[in-house]
Amino acid sequence: MISTGSKITIVGLGLLGGSYAKGLHDAGYTVYGIDIDPKAIDYAIAMNWIKDGSEDPSLCEGSDIIISALYPRTFISWVKDNQKYFKPGSILTDVTGIKRETVKELAEILRPDVEYIACHPMAGREQKGIRFSDPELFRKANFIIVPTEKNTERAIQTAEDLAEILHFRKVSKLSPEEHDEVIGFVSQLCHVIAVALMNVGDNPRLVDYTGDSFRDLTRIADINEDLWPELFICNKDYLVAEIDKLVDKLKDYQEWIDTENVEEMKKAMIEAAGRRRLFGRSSK
Amino acid sequence: MISTGSKITIVGLGLLGGSYAKGLHDAGYTVYGIDIDPKAIDYAIAMNWIKDGSEDPSLCEGSDIIISALYPRTFISWVKDNQKYFKPGSILTDVTGIKRETVKELAEILRPDVEYIACHPMAGREQKGIRFSDPELFRKANFIIVPTEKNTERAIQTAEDLAEILHFRKVSKLSPEEHDEVIGFVSQLCHVIAVALMNVGDNPRLVDYTGDSFRDLTRIADINEDLWPELFICNKDYLVAEIDKLVDKLKDYQEWIDTENVEEMKKAMIEAAGRRRLFGRSSK
């Protein structure tokens, strides 16, 4: 288990970075925070989640573990600019929602005496910012570790420890390619659907006519428009293919409806319902 | 308000019919139930939700209000076969999710001394059958009344009374065409998306990699395959058009992603998020 004497620095005190800070603090670790927004730092200090915080990246000096909670491309450029402060032998990890790009870029630029272990905590909420941080988010969330053949057991264990300390429900390991493919489907495609649905409907009185189904399908349409275009573009090959597959299936249903082909619809619905039951009744 | 001395008969003791029965019983009304399944009747009697029940449609004789909780086409044929038992001056209402067809068919076949007022309680859950009935479902649900120019104030008031007695959150009125168009979008299209998404993904380990977004978008994929093809087909003109509109919008996002057009994506996401906020944060 990660030693409680470790210095852990979180870079980016937003929703996820703040939730990590509180979760690690609650578990007895000493946490430091770096953010360009002094208000986020003041908040984390006031909440006692971090021992110290700064806009100055040199605060990460001497850290045993650095956790980036930045957007993917900001993460890469931040490392480029500030790895001079990293401690030899330290471990770098992250929370970004795409992995081929971060793994590839960091393999090229990261100092050889620092090890990057890619992680994706599959937690979030509609709101952004540290004021909505809450490590309780993690208890029902999956955690994906994305090791490469270059990763040591020590780094992988550190990632597993983090998931355990933060009480994630389930830890899985995927390759960068597997990760990005599966995320293109279960997360990114769902976000595309949700925003597309809201873009289609322009009746402000819709709220009076909706049931739970529409609310559920569009919850994530209250989206962070700074983050998601970047995530989509970093994964565009898989995501473009997933949209094609969904459109094909929607067209199947459209044809079955138009030709009143009840049998095909029933068959497909029985398949869909059976698969969905594996996930349990509710999302809550 | 509907007189507590009224005889109310519910035809079809499934999830919704059972919830109506319990809700009306709890409010002090005397309820009777008709169903082809003797187990559903036994259950409703055992729970004390109905005073009496039968497989025999003649039980509805003397009813002031008859509420059909049957599937749309079964509803029409049941009325055809059994309206001989209806009491002159009585009111017939329903719960079906499409309205142009029921309104048109009943205008042709219903006895002139009985009045049909079309209603759509927008409540449901993934499970079917009376054992999952619960009028608490209605407290957060919208209720749509679909009057035509032939409806009297008395019948419309009866529908409003039912919504009030059962504690629906909000009551709206729409024409049959407006109803079917809006339902094609907010309910039927969402169900098509949910099942199509489950049909696309065939990885049984997906459950280990999902966040809330996928769970939310597919909750309703655990669908009743007997009911929904019928609802889709009864509304196929609107639904086919809604699928086209969604596919066009998905293709827009696909192109923006592929060409890395961040500006268009941001613009569309800001629009989507703004519209979504009108619905409140959560579906719960």
Examine the domain organization and report whether B51 and B165 are in the same domain.
yes
How much is the average pLDDT of B1-7?
A: 94
B284 in any annotated domain = no
A284 in any annotated domain = no
Q: What rounded mean pLDDT belongs to chain B?
A: 94
Examine the domain organization and report whether B30 and B169 are in the same domain.
yes
The token pair that represents B273 in the structure block: 């998020």
pLDDT at position B88 is: 98
Radius of gyration of chain A (CA): 21
Examine the domain organization and report whether B148 and B196 are in the same domain.
no
Examine the domain organization and report whether B33 and B92 are in the same domain.
yes
pLDDT category of residue A281 using cuts at 50, 70 and 90: low
How much is the average pLDDT of A77-90?
A: 98
B282 in any annotated domain = no
**pLDDT tens digits along B232-254:** 999 999 999 999 999 999 999 99
Examine the domain organization and report whether B169 and B42 are in the same domain.
yes
pLDDT at position B27 is: 97
With beta carbons less than 8 A apart as the criterion, state whether A128 and A156 touch. Answer: no
Of A123, A140, A174, the domain-final residue: A174
CA separation for the pair B225, B218 (Å, rounded): 15
**pLDDT tens digits along A221-273:** 999 999 999 999 999 999 999 999 999 999 999 999 999 999 999 999 999 99
A2 in any annotated domain = no
- Whether the pLDDT of residue B201 is over 50: the answer is yes
With beta carbons less than 8 A apart as the criterion, state whether A250 and B192 touch. Answer: yes
CA separation for the pair A4, A6 (Å, rounded): 5
Examine the domain organization and report whether A139 and A48 are in the same domain.
yes
- Whether the pLDDT of residue A68 is over 90: the answer is yes
Examine the domain organization and report whether B14 and B143 are in the same domain.
yes
pLDDT at position A213 is: 87
CA separation for the pair A262, B231 (Å, rounded): 11
Q: Do B268 and A195 touch (CB under 8 A)?
A: yes
Position A249: which residue type? K
With beta carbons less than 8 A apart as the criterion, state whether B192 and B200 touch. Answer: no
A138 in any annotated domain = yes
Q: Do A122 and B211 touch (CB under 8 A)?
A: yes
- The total of structural domains in chain B comes to 2
pLDDT at position A284 is: 38
Residues 116-135 of A with CB under 8 A from B: 122-124, 126-127
**pLDDT tens digits along A145-175:** 999 999 999 999 999 999 999 999 999 999 9
Examine the domain organization and report whether B170 and B206 are in the same domain.
no
Of B174, B208, B239, the domain-final residue: B174
Instruction: ipTM value, please give it.
Output: 0.90
**pLDDT tens digits along B36-69:** 999 999 999 999 999 999 999 999 999 999 999 9
A262 in any annotated domain = yes
Of A174, A200, A234, the domain-final residue: A174
| Residue of A172, A248, A254, A277 to mutate, interface with B, max B Cβ within 10 Å | A254
- Of A275, A227, A238, give the one whose Cα is nearest residue B258: A238
What's the gap in Å between the CA of A261 and the closest CA on chain B? 8
Q: Do B257 and A232 touch (CB under 8 A)?
A: yes
Q: Which domain holds residue A49?
A: 7-174
Examine the domain organization and report whether A239 and A128 are in the same domain.
no
Interface residue B109 vs chain A (CB under 8 A): no
Q: Do A200 and B242 touch (CB under 8 A)?
A: yes
**pLDDT tens digits along A31-63:** 999 999 999 999 999 999 999 999 999 999 999
CA separation for the pair B98, B230 (Å, rounded): 10
- Whether the pLDDT of residue B284 is over 50: the answer is no
Examine the domain organization and report whether A129 and A193 are in the same domain.
no
Examine the domain organization and report whether A167 and A256 are in the same domain.
no
Examine the domain organization and report whether A122 and A262 are in the same domain.
no
B2 in any annotated domain = no
| Domain of residue B232, CATH code | 1.10.3660.10
Q: What is this structure's pTM?
A: 0.89
A124 CB contacts (<8 Å, ≥6 apart)?
Answer: A15, A16, A137, B211, B212
Q: How many CB pairs under 8 A join A and B?
A: 315
Residues 169-208 of A with CB under 8 A from B: 170, 172, 174, 182-183, 185-187, 189-208
A283 in any annotated domain = no
